[in-house]
Chains A and B, each alone.
Chain A
Amino acid sequence: MARTLTRLKKSPVKAAPSEVVSTPGTPKLDNPEFRPSSGGWLARGGVLAFVAVLVLWLGPVVLLGSEEWFALSLAAVYAIIGLSLNVLIGYTGTISLGHQAFVGIGAFASAYVVTELEQPFLIGVLVAALIGVAQAMLLGGLALRVTGLYFALITLSYGLFAQDTLFGIQSITGGGSGREAPLPTGPDNFAPYYFICLAFLAGVLFIDWRLMQTKGGRALLAIRENPRVASTFGINVRAYTVLGFGVAGLFAGVGGALLAHLNGFVDSTEFSFSLALVFVLMTVVGGLRNRTGIVIGSAFFALLDLLIRKIPGLDSRLENLDTTIPVVLLVVGLIVAVTGGLKKAWIRAGIGAAVALLAILLISPVEVPLIEPQIAGFPPLVPETFALVVGPVLLLATLVLYPGGIGQQIRPIQHWLAGNRLDLHVGGEADVQITDVRA
């Protein structure tokens, strides 16, 4: 029953008028006296407009020469998936190591609906979204009984179970041979599909934004931190936890459907445990509870292969480097192991040096000495898998050094864009830890 603060109106103190609605996690007008000048607003507007132009035209058409619509669509889809995992880890405070199941269920659902039931693409996405919500809420119900690290184990097991069993059901998923999922814009016509994916991304961002601006999102954040206190605020902890899962499932289902049609084909082998880790990776590196950071982080991981291809000569360099990189890593690792625990400052310095060295080796015209011999029994290194190594290194660096990820780094910019004075120190570490999930 809604109750209003009727008694307060009898108080002699007048209410202070204010216009801005504030939300946890986003930058606010912290200094009521500071208002940007019209020039300031113009600058901020200009930056936002530039970003829009970059995403919609400059990037895809000018910088990438209209060749990379597939990769860009993948980036948008990964952004949606990252946002979905963020709802679980960042807002609801539940770690999910089986998120590939959420995405895969959406993918197969849409593929099935479009190819078997012969419905249009949008119906496919809708069904995928609904099924995503349903299975997520079931898992959410389980989360009410089993919490913390043990629930993480359950999600891990669930992900494997989904890949082996659920995605193996012949009639729905086509068993070992998978299922087709045709591109709605026509075969290989990825350019318009990119904009379709962007539209869905915008929709997901909108829902996420509204969620966090209203009582649902606040309830989630309160439950994540302190469920007992949340219940004294009148928050039904169980209901909102399941709601959080539902929203995550919604986004994941949509992401899965878009992914299916992008690839043209869905098959259970792509939904492995490693994929789940990559999802966690991109969400954490992106920065929990920071939508922009997560979009950037997820897009980065989706585009990593492309980036490697685009840096001139990087391809062949990686092939030439052969065993050098792992050997260097090994040597550094041994030194670290032998000399004892590292202070964070040392780790930062070490990583900085390693990055610089790597950059020089890869990009500069310096001749790279090979370390002979090649590892007996193994083929030469392949550039594509370089991404598999870079990712986890970034994750570890994020966790140890910059827990807020990319989000933490861009917070000053977001703070400025929201209409505040530019403050480079906004967003301390305390802000952005992955909070203990009631373990």
Chain B
Amino acid sequence: MNELAFEGHLISEEPYYEPAGSEIDIFEAAWRKGLPLLLKGPTGCGKTRFMEYMAWRLKRPLITVSCHDDLTASDLVGRYLVKGGETVWVDGPLAQAVRAGAICYLDEIVEARKDTMVVIHPLADDRRVLPMEKRGVLLTAGPEFCLAVSYNPGYQSVLKDLKQSTRQRFVALEFDYPPAALEARIVATEAGIDEALANTLVRFAHMTRKLKGNGLEEGASTRLLVHAGKLIACGIAPAEACASAIAQALTDEPEMLVAINELSASLF
């Protein structure tokens, strides 16, 4: 059940990624020096795509773990299972990544339980080891292994904040929605629509981002724009595509839904 073929985690085709700054160089430098990375930024702005791109570039397998509040340390490190009357140790994804010299990407790290986060501490400093308490062994990471975590500082919840002891171990890369022209190019390429339409979608996204804090928790992400663009490319009317792919994804509040739909109706 836990068997992962690492070849499957190797990314063979170049993922589409448009750099917004020097993030590629910084990532590469940190990787060479064995430093762990922290990717900050709102949802859907390209963090995961960046990881895929870097994995491809560095030719390392990428193991992604989406963190949730039931994620325990054993879920990451591994556990004993009973098979045919015997107990068998099975590595968790983090241990697998360490053994394979892969890139381990813990997505939305703040969602994990606080005690879970602590197991990555020895891996994230100069020791670069993963203690496997239940087996009584230390797993040492090779030079190719890379730990990266992502985190959305926008939540602003006291509960969902990264502890200093965790965050001060990482090289941080800040991500944000790309500048308008770049974002339009990304949306046009990803969704397969023309630039003019992509520009309008980006303008719509800017409108919703202005609503952040005025009734919306987050504005429309680049990912949502791509979704809407794909629907439009399939022949759905732009206003309808925005309603389904963007407005409904942003909020359930009826008044806000109407307002967002009116905004998109005004643009297209």
Task: Determine if chain A interacts with chain B.
Answer: no
Residues of A within 8 A of B (CB): none
